[in-house]
Structure 1
Amino acid sequence: MSVAGPRFPQAAPGAPLVVFDFDHTLYDGDSGSHLFRWMIGRAWWRVLLALLIAPVYGPLVAFLPTRRFGISGFVWVGSVFGLHGRGDLDAVIDRYVDGHAEAIRARLLPVALEVFRAHREAGDRVVVATGAPPELARAILAFVAHEDVPVVGTEVGPRWGGVGPVRHCHNEMKMTMLRDAGFGGPVEKAYSDSSADLPLLKAARAPVVVNPKASRVAMFREVLPAGTPILNWGCPGRAGEPVA
């Protein structure tokens, strides 16, 4: 699935730490939602079960404090009676990515990948921190020869005959999981679209907001340092100053 690419210099232990979100940052859309929608669509009874729980779990996804619980319901529907742990989910992810290679590749944002590549060429310590399962981001990055980049993502485990999130890499937990993965110390630069990543953006010496929702731009300008770039890397329907 990966393509031949340049060899990047090995980042030194003290090199600047640069953290990228994945969805709506490197990838146009919510990769986890695309995966779980496909998993649910594999069987009619999963679709029916998802429709039955949607009135309860759907609204939970919309709010930060309850998002993990809302997502976990749909993850369970897509995995019950078939998946029993991370290894099973990783295998399904690889099948999904292989079967949707063209559509997934088209969602990778060229401007974002140029910035990503530039940091790697500079010898920075680059890490992707995402709310999606880490194998999903790794498999997608393999299309552009970045599969060796460390990925910190949501951890899953067995749940009621399927799988569900054990630690959701989201909001403050994203910072905790980065530290637990060995990426402690100061964050030199952070790129994200999401208000859920405010702990990460505020921790960075140089935060960069990319592809935000238009309704969140004023909030970002208020809470982040003056002059923080708010950019659009070619993500349709999102705000930010366009970058050629």
Structure 2
Amino acid sequence: MSVKGRQYPRAQAGAPLVVFDFDHTLYDGDSGSHLFAWLIRRSWWRRLLVLPMLPLFLPLVAFLPTRRFGVSAFVWAGTVGFHRPRELDTLIDRYVATHAGKIRERLLPIGIDVLHRHRAAGDRVVVATGAPPELARAILAFVAHEDVPVVGTQVGPRLGGLGAKRHCHNEMKMTMLREAGFRDDVAVAYSDSSADLPLLRAARKPVVVNPKPGRVEMFRSVLPAGTPILNWGCRKRGGEAIPG
């Protein structure tokens, strides 16, 4: 398989399964937040709509048990008037095309290079993200020229807009990977987030990348001794820096 001049062998059944998170792993930041901020800012009435929501829903995003509800509120604010997920996909493609330069600056070269190496080795590579799958897919295809499968949060109609129906997060990420056909044991998993502990624990080789500094000791205590904890270029995150 060729992508912009790169030649990759076709991954065969039984090849090692390698799972990458997206935000703070391949992308420096929260790609979904950047998208939905753009969706809200594109019209004055959406900006007004979201103001009274901030005190109630923004704190919910910070905590694992309530994150889905907080995220759904801002997805809804950015999509009021939409009735089908495909309408959101169309805007996602426009967002990525019109912000390609800024998005390219946020892609982490070390992470993209690691992804390249796994594909060159013939591994089965999949991205599993809490963002809408079309967002990660479009960024990787349009900006990074990678055509890997993506499993992500599913959205559907809600109160005149769209909302998160199944958040690809925590244990649900493992469920959605299996439902997408990735049922083999995970050989390698890369993630920054404690919410991905089910994925990291399931992997034969977990790799923590760009963790919050305050989470480093937690990862060391709950993952096997010797688990790499690396920094792939997120300046405000922890982990061991990769030599330049």
TM-score of the superposed pair, with normalisation by structure 1: 0.97
Q: Structure 2: where are the runs of 5+ without partners?
A: none
Distance (Å, rounded) in 1 between the aligned partners of 2:38 and 2:5:
30
Which residue number corresponds to residue 171 of structure 1?
170
- How far is 1:7 from its partner? 2.4
Q: Note the aligned Cα RMSD (angstroms).
A: 0.8
Matched-pair contact (CA < 8 Å) for 1:22–1:129? yes
Amino-acid identity (%): 70
- Offset from partner CA, 1:17-47 (integer Å, 9 cap, x none): 0000000000000000000000000111111
- The one-letter code matched in structure 1 to 2:91 is V
- Offset from partner CA, 1:91-142 (integer Å, 9 cap, x none): 0100111110100011111111110000000000000000000110011101
Partner of 2:86, secondary structure, is helix
Which residue number corresponds to residue 16 of structure 1?
16
Which residue number corresponds to residue 180 of structure 2?
181
- How far is 1:14 from its partner? 0.2
Pairing 1:12-51 to 2, within 5 Å after superposition: 12-51=12-51
Which residue number corresponds to residue 80 of structure 1?
80
Q: Does 1:108 align with 2:107?
A: yes
Which residue number corresponds to residue 126 of structure 2?
127
Which residue number corresponds to residue 92 of structure 1?
91
- The one-letter code matched in structure 1 to 2:159 is W
Which residue number corresponds to residue 140 of structure 1?
139
Which residue number corresponds to residue 4 of structure 2?
4
Which residue number corresponds to residue 157 of structure 2?
158
- The one-letter code matched in structure 2 to 1:134 is P
Question: Is 26-35 or 5-14 further displaced after alignment?
Answer: 5-14
Which residue number corresponds to residue 200 of structure 2?
201
- How far is 1:74 from its partner? 0.5
- How far is 1:149 from its partner? 0.6
Which residue number corresponds to residue 54 of structure 2?
54
Partner of 1:189, secondary structure, is strand
- How far is 1:86 from its partner? 1.2
Partner of 2:204, secondary structure, is strand
Distance (Å, rounded) in 1 between the aligned partners of 2:97 and 2:79:
19
TM-score of the superposed pair, with normalisation by structure 2: 0.97
Matched-pair contact (CA < 8 Å) for 1:5–1:145? no
Distance (Å, rounded) in 1 between the aligned partners of 2:83 and 2:28:
30
Distance (Å, rounded) in 1 between the aligned partners of 2:34 and 2:5:
27
Distance (Å, rounded) in 2 between the aligned partners of 1:187 and 1:109:
23
Partner of 1:9, secondary structure, is coil
Runs of 4+ that moved beyond 3 A: none
- How far is 1:79 from its partner? 0.3
Q: Does 1:241 align with 2:208?
A: no
Q: Structure 1: where are the runs of 5+ without partners?
A: none
- The one-letter code matched in structure 2 to 1:31 is S
Distance (Å, rounded) in 2 between the aligned partners of 1:228 and 1:26:
19
Which residue number corresponds to residue 212 of structure 1?
211
Aligned length: 240
